Amino acid sequence: MATAKKRTSLKPRKVPQQSRAEQTVASILEAAARVLESKGLAGLNTNAVALRAGVSIGSLYQYFPGKDALIVALSLRERAEFVAEALDALEQPSGRLALQHLITVSVNQQLRRPVLARLLDFEETRAPIARELAASKGTLIDLIRQILAYDDIPPQPDMEIATDDLGAILRALVDAAGDRGEVDHAALEQRVGRALFGYLGMANSQNVSNRSHRRNA
Amino acid sequence: MATAKKRTSLKPRKVPQQSRAEQTVASILEAAARVLESKGLAGLNTNAVALRAGVSIGSLYQYFPGKDALIVALSLRERAEFVAEALDALEQPSGRLALQHLITVSVNQQLRRPVLARLLDFEETRAPIARELAASKGTLIDLIRQILAYDDIPPQPDMEIATDDLGAILRALVDAAGDRGEVDHAALEQRVGRALFGYLGMANSQNVSNRSHRRNA
Amino acid sequence: MATAKKRTSLKPRKVPQQSRAEQTVASILEAAARVLESKGLAGLNTNAVALRAGVSIGSLYQYFPGKDALIVALSLRERAEFVAEALDALEQPSGRLALQHLITVSVNQQLRRPVLARLLDFEETRAPIARELAASKGTLIDLIRQILAYDDIPPQPDMEIATDDLGAILRALVDAAGDRGEVDHAALEQRVGRALFGYLGMANSQNVSNRSHRRNA
Amino acid sequence: MATAKKRTSLKPRKVPQQSRAEQTVASILEAAARVLESKGLAGLNTNAVALRAGVSIGSLYQYFPGKDALIVALSLRERAEFVAEALDALEQPSGRLALQHLITVSVNQQLRRPVLARLLDFEETRAPIARELAASKGTLIDLIRQILAYDDIPPQPDMEIATDDLGAILRALVDAAGDRGEVDHAALEQRVGRALFGYLGMANSQNVSNRSHRRNA
DNA sequence: TATGAATGAGACTTCATTCAT
DNA sequence: CATGAATGAAGTCTCATTCAT
């Protein structure tokens, strides 16, 4: 592997001013997404992406300083999409509703392109990527942190850990659903709700029936 | 990178017949684990493993047809260790206790080598690896399935999905803890318990305090 | 040796679009020919060819998927050269003259680079090479087949077999001459003529003296 | 490739005294023949041969100093078999009959294991093999040389060349027949006779019909 | 002697990246 | 700016041969 560690910044080299360039950048990113979905992490390579994008390899490097920059940009693209919908959560009157909203949005997002989402989730933990992404705001984690501050959420022994845990559970369940090829959003949201509210120690609406069952048993 | 897709079988090439060879195989596997821990997936390559193991590259290929075979073997090694301890779970008198036991064992296992565990969890979902591992018995998932059949576990709408979900949550929380470098087993077990029992709709001992809190709030 | 059996297609990977690339391809092919001549089949390897061609190994793989593809391309190159001259044979008024012409051209061709010709003749029978070459037109065999249809050629019990036999004899004699380092075209052509016309049952001009000898003997 | 050029002698390391060793040597040679037939030159390797022979690789090297020695030994084995039958040719009263006999024996020999014969023919021209084989007596070529000395054979301009040519033609026709999977010995012998006697300028019995045709035409 | 584990040179191949046009 | 040819480090894998047991 010609793992070039030379260049350190993973930011796009130039912000496209003209719309043609924007088009190019967008098509490269989408090509990267498609390659990731069809060939996986190991199949992702710059030449393949350029080819898929219908762009020369030279052009790709014009806009992205390297392979990792592609992944970073893709993550940011997906995050932006997510944030746009997820911020509404903070408008909700209660923590319960906010979390519910967050679940809905997450499920939507992840089920849109489950494979891509899963791979990006994994890549985002790789040091060079994580470093670059650290600055980015409006993460799932950020939102959860804020939601946990609502009054109706039982206080957790350690806020940081609880935040991480909830994020991990949310992602895990939705990824698993994606793997299985699930498409029923409602059912998935319900299960995720059970897990998250269960973790937080909040019975949620659906749990009522379960609890009554337990009493009977 | 020479991503070789040639060979299909990921099974070990030959079973070592002399104890010297057994040593070699063991050291290769351990070297693979160490490389994975220190360099990550991208840093795992047959040369590095052979070097770390102190054997020639040729020896590695005598026993493993390639990189993926190494991962498969490593997974199996870790699974075997896990199963050895986890099977006791089925001796427990109740589902609750069985699940509790499973959590304890999982936490132990994962916290022993958290990075390794996390990477293997990810790799195990890659098609070629998963295919090879499919035959292997005594998975976490198998155990959960059996535990869900206990009387004291509330029936779930879809057993298969519940099983998957519980496995995913368990793994996600323990992986997250590993990432954070957590070492407090008890605390982690407690949180995992909250998530799993919460998902199942079973209040667990620790939830009592939480529930009372909620009443007060 | 890393006998790679992976790739099936032996076709060139990309058609050079710039003249610089055409140069590269040509120099790679010529280098392959030279390596074959100096080191033989066993000495033919992609590294040696790239080195001899003065290009990087990467460049070689841009255009040829592997060693066998090199051989195929080389065969085609030699065939093209041969066909260019040999097609005139079909312009001849008689089968005898046509065959004579074919002999002349074959001798010229083979004596130009005898070692190369001999090795290619052998390689062309290897299944993967033969498969790829099957499509190529204008073979020696094709020409012979057409020549056998002339009126002045005695009918043969099995046309297909006779064609093959004549081709085999022609190649064998010229290869043998090449091995010996013969340079006298005329003498060689005469002997080849004797063998071919003899096989066909046609006395040729040179045979007259021989026949009279036999009578005397 | 670990092309070891160290050892220079390709003779078997030890002449087996005991019959067990003889057995071993024979089985190794036969295994080499089979591998050659099924995998071709490129597929011939010492490990595969040992495996096929049911012998350890160490034992193989006990009897053969290297890979090339295997080929030499195989050639000698085939030659010995050939010579045993072919020497009778020299008992014949005339050159014509001697040559006829030689043809018969050659056809028998080559059609027995056509693929093997063809590959050995080729390998025998490789310098290291040829060097080692040079000493061996009773070659096809030797026999032809002696046959050409008979009175009834028309004198040839250059005896050495004629000898070579006849050998080349003989081998070429029989190899071609082997390639085609021919099994009809008689027909093949007839065609070979036509070619050889034609080359020598001797009408042979079968040519009569052809000659009459020619007169008519 | 026989065995088979071990070795490592060397061949194959990919792909991130640069740069001349 | 775009193109695509070229590069070569780095990784994969084989197999002839040796050597400890």
**What confidence tens digit (pLDDT) does each residue in D97-121 have?**
999 999 999 999 989 999 999 999 9
Handedness of CA A165, A168, A174, A180 (dihedral sign): negative
Where does CATH 1.10.357 sit in chain A? 71-216
| Chosen from B161, B183, B189 to mutate, greatest number of chain A CBs within 10 A | B161
Is the predicted pLDDT of residue D31 greater than 60, yes or no? yes
Instruction: Give the mean pLDDT of C145-153.
Output: 95
Q: B66 contacts in C (CB within 8 Å)?
A: none
The pLDDT value given to residue B10: 87
Residue B173's closest chain A neighbor by CA?
A: A165
pLDDT-derived band of residue B16, with 50, 70 and 90 as boundaries? confident
Instruction: Give the mean pLDDT of D28-55.
Output: 97
What SS3 string covers chain B?
Answer: CCCCCCCCCCCCCCCCCCHHHHHHHHHHHHHHHHHHHHHHHHHCCHHHHHHHHCCCHHHHHHHCCCHHHHHHHHHHHHHHHHHHHHHHHHHCCCHHHHHHHHHHHHHHHHHHCHHHHHHHHHHCCCHHHHHHHCCCCCCHHHHHHHHHCCCCCCCCCCHHHHHHHHHHHHHHHHHHHHHHCCCCHHHHHHHHHHHHHHHHCCCCHHHHHHHHHHHHC
Exposure of A9 by Cβ count < 10 A (0-12 exposed, 13-18 middle, 19+ buried)?
Answer: exposed
More confident residue, B9 or D12: B9
Give the architecture-level CATH label for domain B74-216: Orthogonal Bundle (1.10)
User: Which residue has the closest alpha carbon to F5 C1'?
Assistant: C21
Find the range with the poorest average confidence among A8-17, B144-153, C13-22. Answer: A8-17
Residue B3's closest chain C neighbor by CA?
A: C6
Is the predicted pLDDT of residue A39 greater than 70, yes or no? yes
Instruction: Measure B2 CA to F9 C1' (Å).
Output: 12
Q: Count the residues in chain A.
A: 217
Is the predicted pLDDT of residue C53 greater than 90, yes or no? yes
Nearest to D77 by CA among D10, D7, D136, D118: D136
Give tens-digit pLDDT for D119-145: 999 999 999 999 999 888 768 999 999
User: Does this model's pTM top 0.85?
Assistant: yes
Please determine, looking at this structure, whether the domain spanning B19-65 carries the CATH number 1.10.10.60: yes
Where does CATH 1.10.10.60 sit in chain A? 19-65
Give the architecture-level CATH label for domain A71-216: Orthogonal Bundle (1.10)
Nearest to D83 by CA among D117, D106, D66: D106
Cβ proximity of C145 and C163 under 8 Å: yes
Angle, helices B95-112 vs B140-148, to 10°: value is 160
pLDDT-derived band of residue A15, with 50, 70 and 90 as boundaries? low
Instruction: Measure D16 CA to E1 C1' (Å).
Output: 13
| Chosen from B99, B124, B153, B165 to mutate, greatest number of chain A CBs within 10 A | B165
| Distance from the D38 Cα atom to the nearest Cα atom in chain C, whole angstroms | 12
Instruction: Measure B151 CA to E11 C1' (Å).
Output: 62
Q: D197 contacts in C (CB within 8 Å)?
A: 198
Q: B4 contacts in C (CB within 8 Å)?
A: 6
C-alpha dihedral, B38 to B42 to B46 to B49, nearest 10°: 0
**What is the three-class DSSP state of D101?**
helix
Instruction: Measure C47 CA to F9 C1' (Å).
Output: 15
| Nucleotide nearest the Cα atom of C21 (by C1') | F5
Instruction: Measure D55 CA to F9 C1' (Å).
Output: 41
Nearest to B51 by CA among B21, B20, B28: B28
> Strand E: which nucleotides have any atom within 7 A of a protein Cβ?
1-21
CB-CB under 8 Å, D194 with C194: no
The pLDDT value given to residue D203: 72
Neighbours of C27 (CB within 10 A): 17
**What CA–CA distance (Å, rounded) separates A73 from A75?**
5
Neighbouring chains of B at 3+ CB pairs under 8 Å are: A, C
For the domain bounded by C75-204, which CATH number is listed?
1.10.357
**What is the three-class DSSP state of A35?**
helix
**What CA–CA distance (Å, rounded) separates C78 from C129?**
14
DSSP code string of C100-141? HHHHHHHHHHHHHSHHHHHHHHHHTTSHHHHHHHTT----HH
Q: For residue C50, give the amino acid letter.
A: A
Give residues with Cβ within 8 angstroms of D59, minimum separation 6. D24, D28, D50
| Nucleotide nearest the Cα atom of D65 (by C1') | F17
- N-to-C CA span, chain B: 58
The pLDDT value given to residue A17: 54
Q: C110 contacts in D (CB within 8 Å)?
A: none
Cβ-nearest to A211 among B122, B126, B201: B201
Nearest to B72 by CA among B2, B164, B136, B143: B136
pLDDT-derived band of residue A8, with 50, 70 and 90 as boundaries? low
Count CA atoms within 13 Å of residue D71 on its CB side: 28
**What CA–CA distance (Å, rounded) separates C104 from B142?**
77
User: How big is chain A by its Cα radius of gyration, in Å?
Assistant: 20
Instruction: Measure B18 CA to E4 C1' (Å).
Output: 9
| Nucleotide nearest the Cα atom of C67 (by C1') | E12
Is the predicted pLDDT of residue C184 greater than 70, yes or no? yes
Nearest to B174 by CA among B125, B132, B135, B120: B120
What SS3 string covers A67-122?
Answer: HHHHHHHHHHHHHHHHHHHHHHHHHCCCHHHHHHHHHHHHHHHHHHCHHHHHHHHH
**What CA–CA distance (Å, rounded) separates D155 from D152?**
9
Neighbouring chains of C at 3+ CB pairs under 8 Å are: B, D
Instruction: Measure B103 CA to E1 C1' (Å).
Output: 57
Is the predicted pLDDT of residue A3 greater than 90, yes or no? no
**Would you give the DSSP letter of residue C91?**
G
**What CA–CA distance (Å, rounded) separates C42 from C53?**
18
Cβ proximity of D2 and D67 under 8 Å: no
> Strand F: which nucleotides have any atom within 7 A of a protein Cβ?
1-21
Find the range with the poorest average confidence among A170-184, C83-97, D108-122, D197-211. Answer: D197-211
CA B185 to chain centre: 17
Size of interface B-C (CB pairs under 8 A): 5
pLDDT-derived band of residue C1, with 50, 70 and 90 as boundaries? very low
CB-CB under 8 Å, B199 with A191: yes
Is the predicted pLDDT of residue D204 greater than 90, yes or no? no
Is the predicted pLDDT of residue B215 greater than 60, yes or no? no
| Nucleotide nearest the Cα atom of B55 (by C1') | E6
Give residues with Cβ within 8 angstroms of D25, minimum separation 6. D12, D16, D63, D73
Q: D198 contacts in C (CB within 8 Å)?
A: 194-195, 197-201
Where does CATH 1.10.357.10 sit in chain B? 74-216
Cβ-nearest to D199 among C45, C194, C202: C194
Instruction: Give the mean pLDDT of A29-54.
Output: 97
| Nucleotide nearest the Cα atom of B60 (by C1') | E6
Is the predicted pLDDT of residue C54 greater than 70, yes or no? yes
Instruction: Give the mean pLDDT of A94-112.
Output: 94
Cβ-nearest to A199 among B1, B176, B194: B194
Distances (CA, A) of A83 to A105, A128, A144, A146, B149: 9, 23, 12, 14, 40
User: Which residue has the closest alpha carbon to F3 C1'?
Assistant: A56
pLDDT-derived band of residue C12, with 50, 70 and 90 as boundaries? confident
| Nucleotide nearest the Cα atom of A61 (by C1') | E17
**What CA–CA distance (Å, rounded) separates C172 from A113?**
63
Instruction: Measure C62 CA to F2 C1' (Å).
Output: 20
Q: D187 contacts in C (CB within 8 Å)?
A: 157
C-alpha dihedral, C27 to C30 to C31 to C36, nearest 10°: 170
Neighbours of C61 (CB within 10 A): 14
Residue in the block written with tokens 């305090």: B209
Count CA atoms within 13 Å of residue C120 on its CB side: 25
Q: Count the residues in chain D.
A: 217
pLDDT-derived band of residue D5, with 50, 70 and 90 as boundaries? very low
More confident residue, A129 or D21: A129
Give tens-digit pLDDT for B63-77: 999 999 999 999 999
| Chains C and D are touching, with contact defined as 3 or more CB–CB pairs separated by less than 8 Å | yes
Give residues with Cβ within 8 angstroms of A121, minimum separation 6. A171, A175
| Distance from the B23 Cα atom to the nearest Cα atom in chain A, whole angstroms | 30
* Residues of A at the B interface, defined by Cβ within 8 angstroms: 1, 3, 40-43, 45, 122, 125-126, 151-152, 154-155, 157, 161, 164-165, 167-169, 171-173, 175-176, 179-180, 187, 191, 194-195, 197-203, 207, 210-211, 213-214, 217
pLDDT-derived band of residue B217, with 50, 70 and 90 as boundaries? very low
Q: B164 contacts in A (CB within 8 Å)?
A: 176, 180
Cβ proximity of A178 and A111 under 8 Å: yes
Residue C5's closest chain B neighbor by CA?
A: B6
CA A10 to chain centre: 19
| Nucleotide nearest the Cα atom of D43 (by C1') | F15
Instruction: Measure C88 CA to F13 C1' (Å).
Output: 49
For the domain bounded by D69-204, which CATH number is listed?
1.10.357.10
